[in-house]
């Protein structure tokens, strides 16, 4: 039964990828093999069609900017939430995790209306989209880093401070290196999540130049698209999977180097890096 589920989950994707390599225009009949839709075709391939190429570029740009902003904010927030036991920490925790349970259409609408009616200094398009991506990504970083912090525990820093380090030094020289794999994994995970995002990007886009790959898929899937659509989706899939694989590999290497038990896939499955 589990096998049936796995098959059902993966096969449609494999089929879509197969048809991205079709020689003909069909997305449902096997017509030979070719990389036509990726770069050969002079007008319609992902490489040559300016709208598809722009979509790939936009997706990558948003993901990179989002991860550069979200991870530092999230790491600081996670440190604060784990160590701070004061009265404000409960509400702070609540606010940090609330984006996770908010349906994207609510967040998309909220941000769209905010940028149009209140924060006029933020234009729709890339700036707005980056802000939107960062806002929902912070919660993921908080979860990942917090769970790692909880399993590290305060002993190492306390030992360092017993040996004379200030809290700041203990943080810099002891805790951050211990957190490094979790932080790296957060970068990759935010990157991958941002690549796949649809609703927020769609609500906050301004014109065709700021359309990401998921938006292109949405607008064209029911029309009469060529396999180039499959191709562009496959490209982003590979990019996202590469990012995640990199994260898993790096974390595993660090874990092995430290002699910790390596249950990496299980840990990733529970966002417990």
Partner 1 sequence: MRSRQWFWASFSLPGLAWLSLFFLVPFYVILAVAMGTVDPIFRFPVPVWNPLEWNTQAFELVLDELGPSQTYGTVFIRTTAYVAAAVALSLAIGYPVAYYIARHGGRWKGLLLLGLVAPFWISYLMRMLAWVNLLQEDGLVNRSLMWLNVLDAPRNWLDGRASTVILGLVYGYIPFLILPLYASLDRIDRNLLEAARDLGASRVQAFRRVTLPLSKAGILAGCVIVALPMFGDYYTPDLLSGSPKTSLIGNQINLYIRGGPQVTLGAALVVVLMVLLLVFMVYYLISTARLARELDR
Q: Which of residues 29-48 bind partner 1 (CB under 8 A)?
A: 29
Q: Which lies closer to partner 1 via its Cβ, residue 145 or residue 254?
A: 145
Write b or e for each residue in 85-96: b if 16 or more Cβ atoms lie within 10 A of its Cβ, otherwise e. Answer: eeeeeeeebeeb
**Considering only 23-31, 34-42, 46-54, 173-181, which stretch makes contact with partner 1 by CB under 8 A?**
23-31
List 60, 68, 97, 208, residue binding partner 1 (CB under 8 A): 97
DSSP label of 223? S
Q: How far apart are CA 5 and CA 14, in angstroms?
A: 15
Is residue 229 involved in binding partner 1 (CB under 8 A)? yes
The candidate with the shortest Cα–Cα distance to 190, out of 106, 71, 73, 43, is 71
Is residue 140 involved in binding partner 1 (CB under 8 A)? no
**Considering only 32-40, 47-55, 175-183, 221-229, which stretch makes contact with partner 1 by CB under 8 A?**
221-229
Is residue 162 involved in binding partner 1 (CB under 8 A)? no
**Considering only 2-10, 32-40, 41-49, 172-180, which stretch makes contact with partner 1 by CB under 8 A?**
2-10
List 55, 56, 144, 213, residue binding partner 1 (CB under 8 A): 213
Smallest gap, in angstroms, from Cβ of residue 21 to partner 1?
14
Long-range contacts of 254-262 (CB under 8 A, 24+ apart): 254/180, 254/181, 255/181
Q: Which lies closer to partner 1 via its Cβ, residue 42 or residue 263?
A: 263
**Considering only 33-41, 50-58, 179-187, 259-267, which stretch makes contact with partner 1 by CB under 8 A?**
259-267
Name beta bridge partners: 33.
22
Confirm if 65 and 58 have CB atoms less than 8 A apart.
no
List 110, 124, 208, 250, residue binding partner 1 (CB under 8 A): 110
DSSP label of 46? T
The candidate with the shortest Cα–Cα distance to 181, out of 237, 256, 82, is 256
Is residue 148 involved in binding partner 1 (CB under 8 A)? no
Helix (H/G/I), strand (E/B), else coil: 102: coil
List 52, 55, 66, 111, residue binding partner 1 (CB under 8 A): 111
Helix (H/G/I), strand (E/B), else coil: 33: strand
* Other residues' Cβ atoms within 10 Å of the Cβ of residue 22: 22
Q: Which lies closer to partner 1 via its Cβ, residue 10 or residue 159?
A: 10
The candidate with the shortest Cα–Cα distance to 140, out of 238, 73, 80, 214, is 73
List 60, 68, 92, 152, residue binding partner 1 (CB under 8 A): 92
Is residue 160 involved in binding partner 1 (CB under 8 A)? no
**Considering only 43-51, 60-68, 71-79, 172-180, which stretch makes contact with partner 1 by CB under 8 A?**
71-79
């Amino acid at each position: 039964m589990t096998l049936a589920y796995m098959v059902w989950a993966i096969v449609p994707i494999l089929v879509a990828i197969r048809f991205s390599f079709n020689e003909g225009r069909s997305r449902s009949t096997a017509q030979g093999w070719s990389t036509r839709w990726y770069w050969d075709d002079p007008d319609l391939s992902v490489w040559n069609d300016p709208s598809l190429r722009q979509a790939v570029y936009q997706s990558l740009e948003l993901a990179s900017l989002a991860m550069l902003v979200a991870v530092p904010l999230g790491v600081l927030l996670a440190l604060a939430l784990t160590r701070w036991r004061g009265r404000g920490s409960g509400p702070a925790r609540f606010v940090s995790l609330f984006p996770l349970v908010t349906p994207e259409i609510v967040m998309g609408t909220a941000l769209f209306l905010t940028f149009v009616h209140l924060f006029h200094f933020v234009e729709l398009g890339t700036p707005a989209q980056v802000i939107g991506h960062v806002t929902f990504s912070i919660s993921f970083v908080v979860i990942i880093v917090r769970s790692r912090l909880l399993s590290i525990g305060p002993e190492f820093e306390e030992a360092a401070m017993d040996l004379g380090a200030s809290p700041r030094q203990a943080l810099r020289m002891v805790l951050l290196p211990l957190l490094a794999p979790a932080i790296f994994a957060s970068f990759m995970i935010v990157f991958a999540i941002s690549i796949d995002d649809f609703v927020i990007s769609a609500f906050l886009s301004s014109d065709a130049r700021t359309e990401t790959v998921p938006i292109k898929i949405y607008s064209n899937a029911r029309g009469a698209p060529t396999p180039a659509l499959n191709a562009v989706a496959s490209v982003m899939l590979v990019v996202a999977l590469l990012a995640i694989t990199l994260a898993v590999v790096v974390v595993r290497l660090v874990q092995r180097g430290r002699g910790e038990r390596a249950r990496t896939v299980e840990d990733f499955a529970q966002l417990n890096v």
